[in-house]
Amino acid sequence: MLRTANDKRRWDADDWRRYRCRSDGCGWQDLLEVSADRQGPRQAAPAASTLLRVLRAALLLLAAGGLAWGAMLLLEFLISAPG
């Protein structure tokens, strides 16, 4: 279940997850502390996420540069065309 805005404001928000009972008729939901062994792999994810963001930005810049270069070639062709 998604955490509420108040859940995210906690100073130790990364250590807690919101859970709810999936049984019909049971309305239980609460924050439970994440065990230390479940927190370990999450620490490696931000580095991969940052790398993906940098690669995505580089790809977008490359695409924008290619479009600009193509536009300049087209403009040069239109200006130099006899006519």
26 and 61 share a domain?
Answer: no
Residue 17: per-residue pLDDT: 76
Based on the fold, state whether residues 19 and 4 are members of the same structural domain: yes
Which domain range does residue 37 map to? Answer: 1-43
Q: Does one domain contain both 2 and 37?
A: yes
Overall pTM surpassing 0.75 (yes/no):
no
Q: Do 35 and 12 share a structural domain? A: yes
Average pLDDT, whole number, for the chain? 78
Q: Are residues 37 and 55 in the same domain?
A: no
DSSP secondary structure of the chain = -PPPHHHHHSTTGGGEEEEE--STT---EEEEEPPHHHHTGGGTHHHHHHHHHHHHHHHHHHHHHHHHHHHHHHHHHHHHS--
- List, for residues 34-44, the tens digit of each pLDDT value: 775 655 555 55
Which pLDDT score, from 0 to 100, does residue 2 have? Answer: 58
Instruction: Give me the number of domains the chain comprises.
Output: 2
Rounded mean pLDDT, 39-65: 79
31 shares a domain with 13 = yes
Q: Categorize the per-residue pLDDT at 64 as very low, low, confident or very high, splitting at 50, 70 and 90.
A: very high
- Are 34 and 57 in a shared domain? no
